[in-house]
Structure 1
């Protein structure tokens, strides 16, 4: 059963399409206990919610990093009970941060498959504006595999393209500033240390810092949105 407040509304076919996997894959993960069972609704139809979508995306990210099913099972087993979709998304972002940038060339049909749904021309143009996809030769597309799922999710956000691009600019600028300051701090901390300490810090810094930044940002954003919504209701 999903642990999120949103009502589970997706059928198994819709869940598979949303996450870009096959129905067979969804059932396989469910049979292995990697994916919680659906909520059984009217006519005994299983329904899936945001928690299922987020967990399936995390599983696929772990699989793409080369983890075995046993390793994925151990990873998921260490997650807190009742973890929600937002926190699962943070875990997936941390896992994705380990991978190098991956730009692939795909056909139009493959782009739709990976997006988990048919993309209209306007959708493709918006993804191109976000630097998620770009035209290649012979009608194919260059796709940033690490950003595609996020870009597709942004297509459904009720914001204008200009607002999304402005938000991206803010995130990039502040992320670079934070990365610069953290790197300067860490370099100073190990300046007089042995080479093995420097290598150890380099190996562990990225996933740890990414998780810290994501968690801190999520909490700060939740507070800001809470204050904004409270102020709007008061007004």
Structure 2
């Protein structure tokens, strides 16, 4: 069994959540990376240390898995390790695995659309779990997955950047209708914000050459998306806190 050193934080990774903690080998296999990569990220401070259990075995949880997925996505976008370190340091320290999955979905949105056509079996592999027929129908209803009408059998079109977030939503106790309504609200307000910001930036660079405008767009997009995401997360937490206090 592989051992790992790290800070003992008392409660084991996954304890109290009904989920089994992962060894470093299991974490690497689930994330699709090598054990050496996991340890390297740990030494660079990109991953928090594992919880040390009996026999000095390091235990990892869903937060490590979600952070690994985010790091890999940032690397796919061409960011260096130094840039990734800066990016991760700017994130709030108390992000949940769902928050990290949302961050990854946002990062994936920086890249051009990359819709893939996959079989049901390949969809299971990308989702990291076996999807029942009901799960697939919920993903279709949310607009995360589309059935490929040009193919025979169970073939789907999917944006990998949205899939993990959609899979996370499968465990949220909301009906597909409620999730779709929430999606429509987000799209409406996101489009309004994008329109206002686009007008603001357009006025700011109206007298500059096209290359300068293109450069500004490339630099501003991730910063604006990060700012919108952080503001939204804080606002939502405040709204939910007020709602729970009233309840």
Place the TM-score, normalised by the shorter chain, in its bin: 0.7 to 0.9
2:120 is matched with: 108
Q: Which of 8, 11, 18 pairs up with 2:22? A: 11
Q: Does 1:198 align with 2:213?
A: yes
Instruction: Structure 1: state its 5+ residue gaps.
Output: none
2:89 is matched with: 80
Alpha-carbon offset, residue 205 of structure 1? 2.2
Count of residues in Structure 1 that have an aligned counterpart in Structure 2: 224
Q: Does 1:225 align with 2:234?
A: no
1:33 is matched with: 41
Return the alpha-carbon distance in structure 1 between the equivalents of residues 84 and 211 of structure 2: 31
1:21 is matched with: 31
Q: Which of 178, 198, 202 pairs up with 1:183? A: 198
Alpha-carbon offset, residue 76 of structure 1? 3.8
Alpha-carbon offset, residue 66 of structure 1? 4.5
Q: Which of 127, 136, 140 pairs up with 1:128? A: 140
User: Relative to structure 1, is the Cα distance of residues 84 and 14 closer, same or farther in structure 2, using a 3 angstrom cutoff?
Assistant: farther
**TM-score where L is the length of structure 2:** 0.78
Residues 50 and 85, structure 1, Cα contact 8 Å, conserved in 2 = no
1:158 is matched with: 173
Q: Does 1:169 align with 2:184?
A: yes
Aligned to 1:220, what secondary structure does the other structure show?
helix
Give the structure with the higher percent helix: 1
Residues 31 and 65, structure 2, Cα contact 8 Å, conserved in 1 = no
Residues 8 and 49, structure 1, Cα contact 8 Å, conserved in 2 = yes
Alpha-carbon offset, residue 95 of structure 1? 2.3
Return the alpha-carbon distance in structure 1 between the equivalents of residues 235 and 209 of structure 2: 36
Instruction: Structure 2: state its 5+ residue gaps.
Output: 1-5, 15-20
Q: Deviations over 1:136-177 (max 9, x none)?
A: 213322111111000000000111111111100100010001
Deviation larger for 167-176 or 203-212: 203-212
Residues 2 and 36, structure 1, Cα contact 8 Å, conserved in 2 = no
Return the alpha-carbon distance in structure 1 between the equivalents of residues 101 and 176 of structure 2: 23
Aligned to 1:125, what secondary structure does the other structure show?
helix
Return the alpha-carbon distance in structure 1 between the equivalents of residues 8 and 240 of structure 2: 22
